[in-house]
Amino acid sequence: MTEEGYPATVEVSKYPGMRNDPEVEAFAMQYVMDYERQRGWEPEDVSQKHDGSGFDIRSVGPVDEVTGIASVQRIEVKGRAQHNQEVALTVNEWRKAQQLGDSYWLYVVWGCTSENPQLLTIQNPAKVFAGDAKEIKQVTRYVVGAEALYSKIV
């Protein structure tokens, strides 16, 4: 873990299996929505809003009879075709997990293409995986300084 609270850096080439599969992800989302409804919660798919919320589902639990308050979980869903596969969270997802603490959950659905999918639920993944997560650096652009630009004028 770095001083800023972010995971240590590793090379992206060490994690070749970290690409998205839209069909697997769709299955995982439906699986989690069904799971939430079965346990008496009211899930809402917020993944298509693209509003920077950093999670896929906002799920509201039953109202507590004593306090009159309903619990809210913010759920990031990750689906994998096979069992025992790694998952990656985006920078935004990791930051939101840090900010939202115990109300942020990571739901991993392993075996989305198998007959026996397995659901893993992890509360506050930024805290739980603080020592286990590795940051993956990717080049998104190259910067050319003003001096270099000026020196190449023909």
| Whole-number pLDDT of residue 143 | 85
Question: Domain range spanning residue 79?
Answer: 8-151
What pTM was computed for the model? 0.79
Say how many domains are in the chain.
1
Does any domain span residue 48? yes
Side chain identity at residue 40, one-letter code: G
Does any domain span residue 41? yes
Does any domain span residue 53? yes
∠ CA 61-63-64 to the nearest 5 degrees? 110
pLDDT in tens, 68-93: 999 999 999 999 999 999 999 999 99
Residue position matching structure tokens 């979980």? 73
pLDDT in tens, 30-71: 999 999 999 999 999 999 888 889 999 999 999 999 999 999
Does any domain span residue 3? no
How far is it, in rounded angstroms, from Cα 75 to Cα 122?
9
Does any domain span residue 67? yes
Does any domain span residue 1? no
CATH of the domain at 130: 3.40.1350.10
Does any domain span residue 2? no
